[in-house]
Structure 1
Amino acid sequence: MSPVALFMQADIVVKTVMVGLLVASIWTWAIIIGQWLKMRRLGKENERFERDFWKSEDIDSFYESRGKGELPAARILAAGIAEWRRSTAGRAVDKEGTRSRLAIALHSAVGAETDKLANRLNILATVGSVAPFVGLFGTVWGIMRSFTDIAGQQSTSLAVVAPGIAEALFATALGLFAAIPAVIAYNRFSYAVNRAEARLQRFADGFHGTLSRELEMEG
């Protein structure tokens, strides 16, 4: 009744289901660990970046020294600076048009960074929703095999029925083993991504306000 014995006794269909669910479980845990490490690192580095930015007195010098990195906040800063320079390059500056274009550029940058943070969460959602049904398919197939054995041996002895039912239930267990961590991680990371998006949006709004004041000073 060990997991290895149950796997070896199963037929090719149930074995395929078990292997698929085991691979899905390993893939899920790899995504969970990678996403957790990424969110933790980016959270700390973004916080430090924003704190240093708001302490800086010269936006251009800060951008040249820190604004060309791979942090989400740095890319938002780069998008704002790029639009600012394009919009104020001419002699006559359209203030309202510049504000509107800055808002669009910053909002698009926040959306792009959020999409990157949420990358692969759809895999967790898929595993969490599909794995139980795949396990159930293995269960149904194993029970059908048990009934076939009963009919073939014309015996309802527990010794005849038990192996197939045990294999079937093991497939269900593997499905839940893959699905439960995936669902929990998806919900947790979705919440973390939403919080990160809100923080990036606040940074973008603050930066937009700063550039708007620059426009007023130039006028």
Structure 2
Amino acid sequence: MIDTMGLTPDAVTLSPLKLFMQADLVVKLVMIGLALASIWTWTIIISFGLKIAKIGKDNTAFEQDFWKAGDIDAFYKARGHEKLPSARVLAAGVAEWRRTTKGRVTDRDGARQRLATAMSSSVGHEIDTLSDRLNFLATVGSVAPFVGLFGTVWGIMRSFTAIAAEQNSSLAVVAPGIAEALFATAIGLFAAIPAVIAYNRFSHRLNKLEGKLFRFSDAFHGELSRELEKDSF
């Protein structure tokens, strides 16, 4: 049975599976690639979201406990090797402090600069490590729409080829190819939109974490600077 537009029921179906099965091999490969990218994107979104939330909570608790501690050396021995950004910044500061104070400190300004550099480098390393997986989200967000567009263009080209082969420009000839093409675009957008939103959101959270680490670093640097002013050094 053919409807008034000259399309069979199978030609107008919106079933994703049927649209995929009817697609050209090239369009199928595009769809599969975008679907895999979407799955990996959501894996990163969920895992990184949980990870950054836990790090933020643990970092806050670590810093609060540090400022409550009366003895920095004792606190460092007990908790300085925890796998937290704040703990690594603390470790970088303590390590540089110990190298600086092995002998008599004659250049206090130079010592302060070295302490600041060591902890700033540690902050940068921690943020770079955490943001490494976000590069994939940025790539998907920028590339997926164009990959979907490639599938769209290929499907439309296939439709025009069908018109030439059939010598018929009716919708029954061109509609399947166009539907498959637009479906490829939809998958591309489905992969790209969450990736862009997640990338922007996680970048904001990393910026906040970086700011907190720098504030912790500056405060610890102030404590060490006061130690340098003591007569023993």
- The TM tier, using the shorter chain, reads over 0.9
CA distance in 2: counterparts of 1:81 and 1:94, whole angstroms = 18
Alignment of 1:8-27 (within 5 A): 8-27=21-40
1:141 to 148, 154, 158: 154
Alignment of 1:40-189 (within 5 A): 40-189=53-202
Aligned to 1:213: 226
CA distance in 2: counterparts of 1:55 and 1:138, whole angstroms = 59
| DSSP 3-state at the match of 1:42 | helix
Report how many residues are paired. Answer: 219
CA distance in 1: counterparts of 2:55 and 2:204, whole angstroms = 15
Please state how far the C-alpha of 1:71 moved relative to its aligned partner: 0.2
TM-score (ref. length: structure 2) = 0.92
Q: Which has the larger radius of gyration?
A: 2
Check conservation: 1:7, 1:167, Cα contact below 8 A. yes
Structure with the higher fraction of residues in helix conformation: 1
Q: Which blocks of at least 5 consecutive residues in structure 2 are unaligned? A: 1-12
Moved over 2 A (4+): 91-94
Aligned to 2:9: none
RMSD of the alignment, in Å? 0.9
Please state how far the C-alpha of 1:122 moved relative to its aligned partner: 1.0
| DSSP 3-state at the match of 1:145 | helix
Q: Which blocks of at least 5 consecutive residues in structure 1 are unaligned? A: none
Check conservation: 1:87, 1:93, Cα contact below 8 A. no
Residue identity opposite 1:82 in structure 2? A
TM-score (ref. length: structure 1) = 0.98
Sequence identity percentage: 68
Residue identity opposite 2:190 in structure 1? F
